[in-house]
Amino acid sequence: MGGRKFTTALDAYAKLTKFTFTGSNSTALFSTRFVHSDSYTRSVAANDIVPYMMLGSTDPPFNPFQIIQSMLNGADNMNVNVFNYGDGNGGDGYVLTNDFWNIYHIDAKSLDTIGPVKPNVPGAPKYDQQIVIGCAHSLPENGTDNHITFVSLASAIPGLKSMYFLYRATDVHTREQIAEITVDSISYMHSFGLTQNHVILIAHPFFIDPTKIYRTFKAADGFVWNPNKSTKFYITDLKTGFVKTVATENFFFLHQINSFEDELGNIVVDICTYKNGDAMNIMDMKTLRNATGRAMFRKPTIKRYTIDPVHENVDVTTFQDSVKYASNLDFPTINENYRYRKYCYVYGVVYTYNTTDFLDMALVKKDLCTGKRDAVWYKPGSYFNEAWFEARPGATEEDDGVLLVDVIDSLTGASQMVVFDAGTLTIATAANLPTNNPFGTHGRFFKGVY
């Protein structure tokens, strides 16, 4: 923007992309538009990156006054996820989320930005004097139109405890408190687990130290990985708000896959796990532009944590693969009809597929039940945005449907919307775009958005 650059791709201005399937003439429509957040519109007007709280620094860096201004302005760039929270009257209410409490309200049909929303934080004391972290991956509450989410209050005040607050989002603007959890340290959590009856916060030892943020005014400087601490599951009853804490091995994660309650009353949580927090650095522009740095990326491993909440035991399971790296995926997607149920299939992206470059990617299907239906689709030079599984109408098999994937072909410089048969990972059809659609984060399919 002007003469200034972001130094991490995660700070890039949010941009919405929409593919519309017309249902006739094998035609798909494509549109894209920047989110007109306050930070974006002010930056365009100034022809410079206006100071707001970001993960990394800028090049050239802000001066001391601008750095302080960025903390006062707070976070404003919602470039991670999109949901329909509803409008409270049975209508639509589409929102954009990031790892902060505030969100943006958008019109999913026109891609217009309606405006920022910062809901009240019911029950939270002095929250605007603390670092307020939200969740980019809210989850639909089973049997309702609500979404479950949480906010983390990392205290920088000596003697004042940090807290997690669990909430039910009933529409764009309204939150209902479910429970509060007092802790010594706040973990950075990009997602969490949810079953029909329980919320599972996955507090890995990747902590947020707000005192470090206030010393350097860089959000990334506040992340601290502690290899000597365990990961804690905070299991909260959705009806009563009662919380039980169970500890397990330490790991780092970004994306939880699915959670459900088995026939014995155990809580099963599937997670894309990493050995430490180094995965947070892969989106730094210096790393992305350096082949040696990109090659240092270490693939995640799918692990299943079976929690016995009565005896407070955790059993850890890994999976055997029948195709290479099927269990090493991230950016997972499942058949949403199997959310909170015992399920078999997860789809996702494997980075560093050829082991030499993070940007060499493959699309995989992992069979968590038998391993026999693992599958992979790989074409050198292909970048994958997040896949979305959409079930075939009337389907009786879990993997009877399609995967919608935005694929960038680095060899031609063009993009495609590719429709894969989810059972076999073969291409059913594809639409060529007249442009290159940039590598993105998360998306989903909404019926009736034209």
Strands 313-317 and 301-308, by their bridges, are antiparallel
Q: Are 29 and 74 in contact (CB under 8 A)?
A: no
Please tell me the pTM assigned to this model: 0.95
Residue 127 scores a pLDDT above 60 = no
DSSP state of 14: P
Q: How far apart are CA 161 and CA 426, in angstroms?
A: 52
Condensed to tens digits (0 to 9), the pLDDT of residues 386-400 reads: 999 999 999 999 999
Structure tokens at 149: 């989410």
Q: How far apart are CA 37 and CA 35, in angstroms?
A: 6
Residue 34 scores a pLDDT above 80 = yes
SS3 11: helix
The region, left, alpha or beta by phi > 0 then psi within -120 to 50, assigned to residue 169 is beta
Q: Tell me which of 222 and 318 has the higher pLDDT.
A: 318
Domain ranges of the chain: 119-318, 343-450
The sign of the CA dihedral 20, 24, 26, 27 is: negative
- Mean of pLDDT values over 153-166: 86
pLDDT score for 311: 93
Condensed to tens digits (0 to 9), the pLDDT of residues 399-412 reads: 999 999 999 988 88
Q: Are 407 and 46 in contact (CB under 8 A)?
A: no
Q: How far apart are CA 14 and CA 32, in angstroms?
A: 11
Q: Are 119 and 128 in contact (CB under 8 A)?
A: no
Predicted confidence band of residue 131 (pLDDT cuts 50, 70, 90): low
- Mean of pLDDT values over 75-101: 93
Q: Are 234 and 243 in contact (CB under 8 A)?
A: yes
Q: Are 208 and 152 in contact (CB under 8 A)?
A: yes
